[in-house]
Amino acid sequence: MTSLVLTLVAPREATTLDTATLSLARDVIRANGEAVILSPGEAVDIPCPASARTVLPQLHDQLGGKFDAILTPAEGRRKKLLVSDMDSTIVANETLDDLAALAGIGDKVAAITARSMNGELDFATSLRERVALLKGLPLSLLEKAWQDVRLNPGAVELVRTMRAHGAYTALVSGGFTFFTSRVAALCGFEENHANTLLADSTGHLTGAPGLPILGAQTKLELLQKLTTHHGLENTATLAIGDGANDLPMLRAAGLGIAFHAKPVVRQAVSAQINLTSLRTALFMQGYPASAFVSA
C-alpha cells in the first residue's frame, strides 16, 4: 500500500504551526512516522498511511480552514519538470484584464475572463471576444500595464529552487508573450509560451490575436512534449495553475496543484494551495526552507 506524506503549511501572516495543531493532525491522519520540520512554525511533513486520504476532509474541518494540508505520495516527491500558468498563479494579475482597465473597458473584459476561468465559456472564444474589445488601442498601453504586474510571493523561489536541483521549468499562458517573456526572465523560467497580439503599421492593436490560439490543449501538449523530451516519467512532473484552461495539464501531471484556484478547478484537483504562497509548492516536494533559492 502506498505511503503518503501530509504537508501542513501555515499562512505566515495570519498564524503559526504550534504543538497542539501538529498533535491534532497526527492523530487524525494516524501518522506512522516522525514529523519533519521544513520551516519552523510554517511547514511540516508528517508521514502517514494511504488511509489518510479518507480522513483528509475531517482534518480540514478540524483545522478550521486556517492551514493548507496536502497529501502526496512519499516516493518521488522532488519533480524534474515544472510547467506553470502565469496569470493569477506566478503573477497576482490578470494581465489582459489590467490592459482593459487602462483602456476604460475593464468591467466588460473582466466579466468574460471570469466566465472563461470558471469553465463557463470556451477559452478561444473568450480570448477573441476580449481582444476584439481592445481594437485601436496603442501598443504603448502594454508597457503601461506591465508597470503594474506583481509577482506572487514565492514565485522566484519556486522556479529557482527547482532549477538549482535539476528541474526544467516552463511558463505557459493563455495571455500574451509581451508579459510572459518578462515574467519568465524575472523568475528564471527556461522557456515561455503564450498568445500574441496583432498590431497594424501605426502601432495600434487590430483587435485580433495571432493564430493558433494557445489554450488548454496547448498547455497539456507542452507538458507532454517536455516530459518526453527530457526522458521523464510522468510522476516526475509538476503543473500549477488556477483556471479552467489549466485543468487538462493539472490532471495529467504527476503532481497537479490548484493555486488559489477557481471553484471548477478546486472540485477537480485534490492538491490545493488555498491559503499560503507558492513556497508551499516546494514544501510539497519535501524541500526545507533552508534549501530555497531566492532572487
Report percent pLDDT > 90 for the chain: 93
CA distance 19 to 62: 15
Per the annotation, the verdict on 87 as an active-site residue is: yes
Q: Residues spanned by CATH 3.30.70.120 within the chain?
A: 1-75
Tell me, what amino acid is at 70?
I
Is the alpha carbon torsion for 270, 60, 54, 22 positive or negative? positive
- Nearest 5°: the CA angle 113, 177, 154 is 75
Catalytic residue among 18, 27, 61, 87: 87
Average pLDDT over every residue of 263-284: 97
> Is 85 one of the annotated active-site residues of the chain?
yes
Which pLDDT band holds residue 121 (cuts at 50, 70, 90)? confident
Query: Which of 46, 33, 58 has its CA nearest to residue 6?
Result: 46
Q: Does domain 1-75 have CATH number 3.90.550.10?
A: no
Range list for CATH 3.40.50.1000 in the chain = 78-295
Summary mean pLDDT of the chain = 95
Q: What element of type H or E holds 105?
A: none
The fold adopted by the segment(s) 78-295 is Rossmann fold (3.40.50)
Q: What is the pLDDT of residue 117?
A: 86
- What's the rounded mean pLDDT across residues 167-177? 97
Catalytic residue among 45, 68, 85, 242: 85
pLDDT bin (cut points 50, 70, 90) of residue 262 is very high
Q: 94: left (phi > 0), else alpha (psi -120 to 50), else beta? A: beta
Global pTM exceeds 0.85? yes
3-class DSSP state of 64? coil
What is the predicted pLDDT for the residue at 119?
85
Question: What is the enclosing helix (H) or strand (E) of 164?
Answer: helix 155-164
